Structure 1
Amino acid sequence: MSNILLVLSSILVGVFLQRIKEFPTDAPKALNAYLIYVVLPAVSLLYISKLELSPSLLLPISVAWIIFSLSWVLFGYLGKKLGWKRNTIGCLIICGGLSNTGFVGYPIIEAIYGAEGLKIAVLVDQPGSFLVVSSLAIIVASLYGVEKMRKRDISKRMLVFPPFLFFLMALLLNVFQVEIRGVVQEILESFAATLTPIALIAVGLQIKIKLNDIKDNFLWYGLIHKLLLVPTVIFLVYFWLLRPEGEQNLIFKVSVMEAAMAPMITSSIIATNYNLRPKLASLLVGIGIPLSFLTLTGWYYLLEYFR
């Protein structure tokens, strides 16, 4: 419960800071840079390096890849057919294709399904969502950003994107069984602990909700896609694959609930960094998180039929 309150209060702090004249107007860019160059690499080193690698991880991990691929195909097709601006398409793909599987997902899953559910949530988040946001999301941002880039330049940008670079480093540490501990672990944990409040304050600083913003069809396209369509696809696919019972039932439930989470905070950071409708990206996260508490309740009661 405290984590969820932290999420909401951090957004409200960001909204409040907008009213302070002395507060720098470019603060969100500075905060986003700190997150990308310091915090996300720390998170990668902490968690990916300690993950147990095995074939049983494939189903939970696949959730993030299915969601992002679906978003890319759907919004890419609709955007081209309906003549949407490229930065709008890119924003909807990235924010609609990435679930907040960690900072909102972890406390909710642990509260509902306990420690065993949390273990599955980590699999959905770390090698799933975290790898997608560090690779595919950067490719999409480069393709749909204002600046047109060659394939070679896109590959280079992805490889030098700090979270992805440190993901590869953490993976090597994992493969060679090099354990991070002691003072280094404590320092990384301190940086990682700042992710949720700093990221959400940055989101709150960019939320200026006006009536016209709520009337924006693209906001609702993104939220309906993320909160309803995406989890429905995972529900149907995983129900068919798992025929949920026993341990597989828990994998099924956690996978659907994680798919139903609001857009990932980091998706808003990337969209803002690449100038992909920053305001829309902030609204998708800022409105999506509180709204998701209502839709998640509905998904929870639906899944309770599968005991």
Structure 2
Amino acid sequence: MLNLLQILIFLILGLSLQRLLQSPDKLAAWLNQLLISVILPALALRYLPRVELSLQLLLPVSVAYISFFLSWFLFSQVGKWRGWTRSVTGSLIITSGLANTSFVGIPVLQALYGGEAVKIALLIDQAGSFILVSTLAIIVASIYAAGKKRKRDIAGKILRFPPFIFFNLALVLNLVGWTATGWVDELLAWIALALTPVALTAVGLQIKINLEAISTRFLWYGLGYKLLLIPLVTWIFLGPLMDVEGLMLKVPVMEMAMAPMITGSIIAISHDLEPKLASLLVGIGIPLSFLTLGGWYYFLEFGQ
């Protein structure tokens, strides 16, 4: 209960600062940069070298790919059947198919389940969600966009993305058997403590809700898929293969139940794929996901 209260406190803090500050976007941008450049790399260096790599870990990572490919198949087929515009279809595929497994997912799971959950969540995020947003999401955006985009520029930025660089470095350290000790481990642990307050305050600062657009059915199609259908599919897929009491089932289900990924919505917006819809899926999805995540958490802990 205290962990859930912590999540709520920092989310409300961000929402409050959005109203109180003259330039909340500047603080949000600074906090996001802190997350990207310092906190997420520190998490990778502290936790990933300690992960015992095994084929079993491929199953939790695979759910990110299942989510994206199912989104691609489902929305493309329904879009053709219902006569949706390519812009709407592309926006739903990308934004609903990618979960916010880092900025929201990792701090929430850290608060709920602790450091062991972060190890699994980092693998799902970096080996799953991040690779998807840096490759297939751009391909889908190019297919559904009206004009051609400079994919080389986007790919270059992704390859220089600090969490991606440190994820690969941490994997190398894992393979050579190095783990942080002494003052290095203490420093990384201290930085890791900032994840939940920084990430959720940043999220609160960035939530923008257009009340006039809430009634669009496409918003609820996307959120229904993201917050309800794909975590259910994940539970059905992994349930028979994993211990129902273990984190190898709970973490993937909770990660897939997270709100749409902010980076995914940015890709949709940059390719002019229904920018308002992409923004709403994130802006409405993040606060709404805290309610649905509570339901999934209760189900995983007490309902099985």
Per the shorter chain, which TM-score range? 0.7 to 0.9
Q: Deviation digits for residues 3-26 of structure 1, max 9, x if unmatched? A: 221211111111111221434443
Q: Which residue of 2 aligns with 1:135?
A: 131
C-alpha change, 1:123 and 1:251, in structure 2 (3 Å) is same
Q: Which residue of 1 aligns with 2:96?
A: 92
Q: Give the drift of 1:100.
A: 5.4
Q: Please give the root-mean-square deviation of Cα atoms over the aligned residues, in Å.
A: 3.5
Alignment of 1:138-149 (within 5 A): 138-140=134-136, 142-143=138-139, 144=141, 148-149=148-149
1:271 to 265, 268, 281: 265
Report the AA paired with residue 136 of structure 1: L
Contact 1:257-1:296 at 8 Å conserved across structures? no
Contact 1:139-1:154 at 8 Å conserved across structures? no
Q: Give the drift of 1:229.
A: 0.9
Larger mean CA deviation between 269-278 and 46-55 belongs to 269-278
Contact 2:99-2:257 at 8 Å conserved across structures? no
Contact 1:35-1:195 at 8 Å conserved across structures? yes
SS of equivalent residue, structure 1 residue 104:
helix
Alignment of 1:243-258 (within 5 A): 247=243, 250=246, 253-254=249-250, 257-258=253-254
TM-score (norm 1): 0.76
TM-score (norm 2): 0.77
Q: Give the drift of 1:199.
A: 1.9
Q: Which residue of 1 aligns with 2:293?
A: 292
Q: Deviation digits for residues 111-139 of structure 1, max 9, x if unmatched? A: xxxxxxx84x4454122233223321222
Report the AA paired with residue 193 of structure 1: L
Extract unaligned runs of 5+ from structure 2.
Answer: 271-277
Aligned pair 1:105/2:109, yes or no? yes
Q: Which residue of 2 aligns with 1:190?
A: 190
Q: Deviation digits for residues 137-196 of structure 1, max 9, x if unmatched? A: 222554438895456545433322211111111111111112222233233233332222
Q: Deviation digits for residues 87-115 of structure 1, max 9, x if unmatched? A: 554322324888955322344457xxxxx
* Runs of 4+ displaced beyond 6 Å: 96-99
Aligned pair 1:181/2:207, yes or no? no
C-alpha change, 1:3 and 1:249, in structure 2 (3 Å) is closer
Identity over aligned pairs, percent: 33
Q: Distance in 1 between matches of 2:148 and 2:286?
A: 26
Q: Distance in 2 between matches of 1:67 and 1:217?
A: 21
Q: Which residue of 2 aligns with 1:162?
A: 162
SS of equivalent residue, structure 2 residue 47:
helix
C-alpha change, 1:179 and 1:100, in structure 2 (3 Å) is same
SS of equivalent residue, structure 2 residue 135:
helix
Q: Distance in 2 between matches of 1:205 and 1:273?
A: 20
Q: Deviation digits for residues 270-295 of structure 1, max 9, x if unmatched? A: 63587463453232112212332134
Report the AA paired with residue 165 of structure 2: L
Q: Distance in 2 between matches of 1:253 and 1:93?
A: 20
Larger mean CA deviation between 156-165 and 82-91 belongs to 82-91
Q: Give the drift of 1:211.
A: 3.2
Alignment of 1:18-57 (within 5 A): 18-57=18-57
Q: How many residues of Structure 1 are paired with residues of Structure 2 in the alignment?
A: 289
Report the AA paired with residue 104 of structure 1: V
Q: Which residue of 2 aligns with 1:71?
A: 71
Q: Distance in 2 between matches of 1:72 and 1:97?
A: 19
Contact 1:76-1:89 at 8 Å conserved across structures? yes
C-alpha change, 1:279 and 1:35, in structure 2 (3 Å) is farther
SS of equivalent residue, structure 1 residue 3:
helix
Contact 2:10-2:200 at 8 Å conserved across structures? yes
Aligned pair 1:219/2:219, yes or no? yes
C-alpha change, 1:135 and 1:28, in structure 2 (3 Å) is same
Extract unaligned runs of 5+ from structure 1.
Answer: 111-117
Report the AA paired with residue 293 of structure 1: G
